[in-house]
Amino acid sequence: MTVKTVSVTAFEGQKPGTSGLRKKTRVFMQPHYLECFVQTIFTAIGGAAGKTFVVGGDGRFFNPQAVQVILAMAAAQGARRAIVGQGAVLSTPAASHLIRLHKTDGGIILSASHNPGGEDEDFGIKFNMANGGPAPEAVTEAMFAATKTMASYDILDAPDIDLNQIGQSQLGGMLVDVVSPVADYADLMETLFDFNAIHALFAGGFRMRFDAMCAVTGPYAREVLEARLGAAPGTVVHGTPLPDFGGMHPDPNPTWAKELMDEMFGPDAPDFGAASDGDGDRNMVVGRGIYVSPSDSLAVLAANAHLAPGYAKGLAGVARSMPTSAAVDRVAEKLGIAAFETPTGWKFFGNLLDAGRATLCGEESFGTGSDHVREKDGLWAVLLWLNILASRKQTVAEILGEHWADYGRNYYSRHDFEAIETARADAMMAELRGKLTSLAGTQVEGMTIAGADDFAYTDPVDGSVSRNQGVRILFDDGSRIVMRLSGTGTEGATLRLYLERYAAGPDGLAQDPQEALAPIIRAAQQLAGIEAHTGRKDPNVIT
């Protein structure tokens, strides 16, 4: 085995976003493209020598080959040990847990999350720090800086490792540990939830459907739900991970998980339904005949977390991304705990979790998690819901109804306008930002604007400041509009439009969200000129 130094010309556009670098799979398959970005990771963290890394991904097309490249580069550059999921597979929350469990120096995770997979679809790579969470902006900026000066990379010239066999082997001077991707994660779940109570729930005839969307969560859900908790065989559908996710779009929302939605609103619906995404960090929750928005789910979980053994002592605080509805803030106020509002991106929760200032975190984009790992965790959220259902012995609809009666209801929706020409999207946002200071006191759709700004966040732990995190337009009745351009796509720009209206109750708690939000939707179109700038009147996805 020899170390090869390969001379390269730096690639343009290798700038990681909030979730690492995402491009079309064929882009990553170009000669040297993946290698150059992996080298920037090692450069940004001070090299690989003497370090231990967790490596794995969501099993999408090109995942196994990419893992072999990463191992060969780590070995060539003096890494001490690599812990790899069997078959080169690890869900993102499971990878975060392994980083923390084994106290490694970080991990390299291959995933484009909820984006489609396949040779003509999407691929991604990101680095997680020693705390198990995504690299902060200082590290991703260092990666991007390194991409501009990349001149060479080192890689071991050696045969591929057999990643399908659990056990240890050597790759040059580096120990490679191939481990079960599921076992340690499943064991962690048993420490957090009352498995006996959930097992009894299923034994009593409770029926559930879990749609793994042909993605990474299938083996985890089968082990935890069917093998350990006694859910009926077949509870998990689309449970075999496939390189192209079976042609499915592995994004757990009502649009892409239509099969599950149809079943849960059908004549013989199960008691509970859930879905997870490509890499296992997102979740959708559905009751019989009722959909639970991610913002409402976070609020319900916060209000009832004490029912699970792992959270019986109470919560230190809660945190939500700025675009997420304020429903969880009302729970925090009642519980007398802190509520934090952060920019979009799970890495912003990391400092709060590490400092013990928050226990539960959530985003409106179907991500929920706690301080058990430093990533959002789809199956964890589903298990906490099951623990609550087993303890309260009520339906999802009954739990939601009682929650709204206690706290009021934050009607909420997100409208996604996908693959907009980037220049048009940027021009629209620039024009909107240019008039923010003049909006206060004006009226639109019969509502008065109380204020408008471009959200900036000062981290309460380390004092770092993040600016330009999304435009907010706030109305004097508590309603609001948020607009931002997402960085998770691979083509053009995605405009995310977030809409919220609060109803205190007791009346007006059972409206259809799109009807309740109709004036807010019209106001957003007028204020931003969405159709004029983009040619789009209707969104691609409504959640």
Q: What is the DSSP string of 227-257?
A: IIS-PPTTSEES-S--TTGGG-----STTTT
Query: Residue 413: which H helix or E strand, with range?
Result: strand 409-420
Question: Is 169 one of the catalytic residues?
Answer: no
Cβ neighbors of 347 (< 8 A, separation 6 or more) are 18, 133, 134, 135, 136, 137
DSSP secondary structure letters along 32-61: THHHHHHHHHHHHTT-STT-EEEEEE---T
Cβ-proximal residues to 535 (8 Å cutoff; 6+ apart), any chain:
none
**167-171 and 174-179 as β-strands: parallel, antiparallel, unpaired?**
antiparallel
Question: Taking CA 413 as the corner, what is the angle to CA 408 and CA 418, rounded to the nearest 5 degrees?
Answer: 170
What is the spatial distance between Cα 54 and Cα 380, in angstroms, rounded to a whole number? Answer: 21
Separation of alpha carbons 275 and 265, rounded Å: 15
**Residue with tokens 């959270």, as numbered in its chain:** 311
Per DSSP, helices labelled H in 435-529 are 513-516, 518-528
State the Cα–Cα distance between residues 269 and 95, nearest whole angstrom: 34
DSSP-derived 3-state class of residue 85: strand
Peptide bond into 181 cis (omega under 30): no
Task: Pick the catalytic residue from 113, 276, 293, 479.
Answer: 113
Assess contact for 242 and 180: CB atoms under 8 A: no
What is the DSSP secondary structure assignment for residue 306, as one 8-state letter? G
Residue with tokens 């939707």: 521
What are the catalytic residues? 113
